[in-house]
């Protein structure tokens, strides 16, 4: 499979605090990669480096064979990096449908009229069609999470970055959302998914990465990674002894 | 499944007709009104145009400028420079003043766009002060004490005073309609989607492919052009300009902010309602002098605390009406209508 995304020796410092420490990783076209790690491990910062919200202090980010380290976030979106935020950032004064239109119009550089049909289809796919004309500010948490996902999809991504999209949901809501993500996966969409709800994650992803203190700890088959003593100790808080 | 997207609502169609009727009535003012009426309507028009532009900046692009008097002043002085020194006809000079203000907006943006939030606001103010102090140094334009428009230029507007007043009246009406129209047109366009998105969340709009910087810059330049044109209009009516009058923070920005906040920020109807309220208050309270300003201030504070969506917001949210609909509504035409 062709390589889609690669980070080489990426580091990010906030003042003297090292958040991402010489981290290298890659993602193949069509692959689903899960990312886990304790709070403050640097997972969201990793997403910001990929989506362009933050620039690394060292190292490079490559996407589709191009060095995009210096490329701005909106250009990266047009290139095919779509992201959802951990804390939903809906455009509250716009309708759900208009929220998607923003992604579709600007993420794919199409005229507005050409975006209507694809946006309506994504609303169907993500179970939001009945809420299409509701203001995004009036949505429930599950709907806001779905909107994050739908809006990122509307921007026509080649890779979808999902940041704790199932966080804060009930068990039932979580499995509903996992079902939607699984459907999206059937279209061959590449994803990187940060999640604390490990069983949801492991049921979808092809590969699992563990980071701690901004460093890559483990990387490989999800089930093998979860069983590794280092993960049990660091992530699950179970002593290796 | 079939999808259809609409923006108009029944109230908006009725509102369109009402707006047209009011416009026709106002446009006939030279027939039914006194000179004082015409003058008042022109003032109403330029405050409405300034308010529409400030609302576009602050209410949509998130650019809370307290330095729009910079462009009023540049436009006003533009009128004097183009007519007196370059011999341009007054109407053409007004257009050129708008363009000149837009050109000045680019280097201004280069400075102030580096600043965020409150610092942006202060930065725009400082830049406006720099313009004011700079114009006070130009002796050809009367320095600090200002300059009057020469009789020859005044005559070139139109021969008689009555004709001049009617001409200025129609220019005023046109700029108010244009300012409202351009805001409406922008918001209904693709660019309007980006702006509304920026208003609600800058990080999200950027990560959905919106070039926030460019979207804001375009709005800043458009607002400067219209504001500059209005500046030329203000001083062709006043016939005299000075740095303090041209770059007046209170007149061209503080009142305008009051209008937008009272009426409803981030809505096209807001500036219209706000300007009406402002003129009604002025009519009844202007004799009170300083107290009038205090009452305006107290009203603005109360509205900001109790009804941050403004007077129009209170009405619109309760009854769900939009006179200028910009919302795109999706209709699903299938075996059953699933629209919420």
* Reported ipTM: 0.88
Contact predicate B184/B272, CB 8 Å: no
- Nearest CA among A191, A215, A190 for reference residue A9: A215
Q: What is the pLDDT of residues B6-45, one digit of tens each?
A: 887 777 788 888 889 999 999 888 889 888 899 999 999 9
pLDDT, residue B214, reads: 93
Nearest residue in chain A measured CA to CA from B309: A93
Question: Which of A91, A111, A123 is closest, CB to CB, to B197?
Answer: A91
Q: Is A79 left (phi over 0), alpha (psi -120 to 50) or beta?
A: alpha
pLDDT, residue B108, reads: 92
List, in order, residues 6 or more apart from A73 with CB less than 8 Å away.
A51, A52, A53, B206, B207
Q: What is the separation, in whole angstroms, between the first and last Cα of chain A?
A: 39
Q: Which residues of chain B have pLDDT under 50?
A: 337-340
Question: Which of A94, A106, A134 is closest, CB to CB, to B210?
Answer: A106
Query: What is the nearest CA distance from B101 to chain A, expressed in angstroms?
Result: 29
Tell me the chain A residues in contact with residue B329 when contact means C-beta distances shorter than 8 Å.
95, 97, 132-133
pLDDT, residue A199, reads: 84
Written as six digits, the tokens of A165 are 């999209």
A118 touches chain B (CB under 8 A): no
Nearest residue in chain A measured CA to CA from B209: A74
Q: Which residues of chain A have pLDDT under 70?
A: 1, 235-241
pLDDT, residue B338, reads: 46
Strand partners, B215: none
Question: Which of A95, A102, A131 is closest, CB to CB, to B210?
Answer: A102
B204 touches chain A (CB under 8 A): yes
Q: What is the pLDDT of residues B262-309, one digit of tens each?
A: 999 988 999 999 999 999 988 888 788 888 888 888 988 999 898 888
B308 touches chain A (CB under 8 A): no
- CATH code: domain A3-234 is 3.40.50.300
pLDDT, residue B339, reads: 45
B147 touches chain A (CB under 8 A): no
- Nearest CA among B99, B126, B123 for reference residue B113: B123
The β-bridge relationship of strands A17-28 and A3-14 is antiparallel
- Nearest CA among A183, A180, A194, A184 for reference residue A158: A184
pLDDT, residue B1, reads: 66
Dihedral sign (CA A151, A155, A159, A161)? negative
């Amino acid at each position: 499979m062709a390589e889609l995304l690669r980070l080489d020796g990426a580091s990010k410092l906030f003042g003297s605090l090292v958040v991402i420490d010489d981290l290298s990783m890659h993602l193949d076209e069509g692959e689903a990669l899960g990312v886990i790690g304790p709070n403050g491990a640097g997972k969201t910062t990793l997403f910001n480096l990929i989506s362009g919200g933050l620039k690394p202090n060292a190292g490079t980010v490559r996407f589709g064979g191009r060095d995009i380290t210096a490329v701005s976030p909106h250009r990266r979106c047009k290139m095919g990096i779509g992201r959802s935020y951990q804390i939903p950032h809906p455009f509250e004064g716009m309708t759900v449908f208009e929220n998607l239109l923003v992604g579709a119009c600007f993420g794919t550089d199409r005229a507005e009229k050409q975006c209507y049909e694809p946006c309506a289809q994504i609303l169907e796919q993500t179970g939001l069609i009945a809420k299409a004309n509701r203001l995004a500010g009036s949505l429930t948490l599950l709907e806001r999470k779905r909107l994050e996902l739908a809006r990122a999809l509307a921007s026509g991504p080649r890779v979808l970055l999902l940041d704790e999209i199932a966080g804060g949901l009930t068990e039932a809501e979580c499995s509903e959302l996992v079902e939607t993500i699984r459907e999206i996966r059937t279209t061959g969409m590449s994803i990187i998914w940060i999640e604390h709800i490990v069983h949801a994650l492991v049921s979808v992803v092809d590969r699992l990465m563990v980071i701690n203190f901004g460093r890559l700890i483990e990387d490989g088959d999800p089930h093998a990674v979860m069983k590794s003593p280092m993960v049990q100790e660091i992530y699950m808080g179970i002593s290796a002894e | 499944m079939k999808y259809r997207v609409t923006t108009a609502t029944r109230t908006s169609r009725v509102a369109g007709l009402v707006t047209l009727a009011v416009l026709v009535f106002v446009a006939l003012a030279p027939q039914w009104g006194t000179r004082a009426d015409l003058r008042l309507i022109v003032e109403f028009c330029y405050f409405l145009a300034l308010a529409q532009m400030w609302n576009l900046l602050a209410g949509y692009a998130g650019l809370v400028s307290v330095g729009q008097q910079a462009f009023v002043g540049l436009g006003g002085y533009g009128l004097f420079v183009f007519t007196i020194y370059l011999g341009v006809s007054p109407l053409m000079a007004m257009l050129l003043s708008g363009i000149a203000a837009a050109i000045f907006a680019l280097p201004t943006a280069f400075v102030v766009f580096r600043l965020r939030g409150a610092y942006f606001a202060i930065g725009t103010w400082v830049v406006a002060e720099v313009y004011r102090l700079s114009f006070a140094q130009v002796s050809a334009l009367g320095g600090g004490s200002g300059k009057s428009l020469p009789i020859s230029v005044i005559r070139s507007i139109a021969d008689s005073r009555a004709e001049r007043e009617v001409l200025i009246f129609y220019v005023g009406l046109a700029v108010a309609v244009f300012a409202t129209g351009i805001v409406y047109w922008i918001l209904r366009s693709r660019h309007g989607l980006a702006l509304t998105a920026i208003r609600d969340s800058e990080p999200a709009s950027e990560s959905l492919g919106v070039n926030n910087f460019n979207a804001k810059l375009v709005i800043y330049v458009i607002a400067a052009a219209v504001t500059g044109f209005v500046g030329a209009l203000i001083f062709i009516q006043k016939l005299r300009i000075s740095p303090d009058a041209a770059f007046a923070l209170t007149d061209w920005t503080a009142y305008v902010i009051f209008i937008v906040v009272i009426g409803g920020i981030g809505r096209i109807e807001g500036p219209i309602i706000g300007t009406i309220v402002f003129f009604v208050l002025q009519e009844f309270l202007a004799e009170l002098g300083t107290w009038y300003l205090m009452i305006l201030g107290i009203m603005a504070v109360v509205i900001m605390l109790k009804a941050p969506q403004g007077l129009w917001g209170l009405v619109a949210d309760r009854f769900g009406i939009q006179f200028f609909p910009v919302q795109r509504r999706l209709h699903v035409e299938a075996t059953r209508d699933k629209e919420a």
